[in-house]
Amino acid sequence: MPHRNAPLTETGRLRLARRAVKVRRLAVNPVVGVPLPKAMPADHVHLDDMQVDAPANASGVYRVFILLLAYTGLRWGEASALKVGRVDLDVCRAHIVEAYAEDNGKLYLDTAKNHERRSVPIPRFLAEELKPHVQGRGDE
């Protein structure tokens, strides 16, 4: 959060002007139509193996789930909705079809993000760790 006395950003000034009109401090918004600068995308942060292993090993029974999230890039809702029948350990792929989403504190099953199915690679070492968790289980 910015310091209280920090100068406003351009976006902050636009919001302030919009609010001033709303509370009738200004009759019109003087910055309507002023183009905003393009937002710079944030840098991606990539963890190394040790940074992934520490929380995974500390998570007990969820270790493989944490590794699945870290090494495949799956979102929590996608990984939570993943069914055994959609994990092909022979070719090291997970087929993402649906995901859990939340609405007013309630979870529900929905299509994956952007309503697109996709196939995600699973690293070989992780496929080996997943085998005991999926062998002998039904497709659901």
pLDDT tier for residue 40 given thresholds of 50, 70 and 90: confident
What's the predicted TM-score (pTM) here?
Answer: 0.68
Q: Which residues pair with 108 in a beta bridge?
A: 101
For the chain, what is the HEC assignment? CCCCCCCCCHHHHHHHHHHHHHCCCCCCCCCCCCCCCCCCCCCCCCCCHHHHHHHHHHCHHHHHHHHHHHHHCCCHHHHHHCCHHHEECCCCEEEECEEEEEECCEEEEEECHHHCCEEEECCHHHHHHHHHHHCCCCCC
- Say what the pLDDT of residue 3 is: 55
Mean pLDDT, rounded, of the chain: 89
Which residues lie below 8 Å from residue 113, measured CB to CB, with a gap of 6+?
75, 78, 99
pLDDT tier for residue 138 given thresholds of 50, 70 and 90: confident
Which residues lie below 8 Å from residue 12, measured CB to CB, with a gap of 6+?
none
Range with top average pLDDT, 22-31, 70-79, 104-113: 70-79
How many CA atoms does the CB half-sphere of 32 hold within 13 Å? 9
pLDDT tier for residue 38 given thresholds of 50, 70 and 90: confident
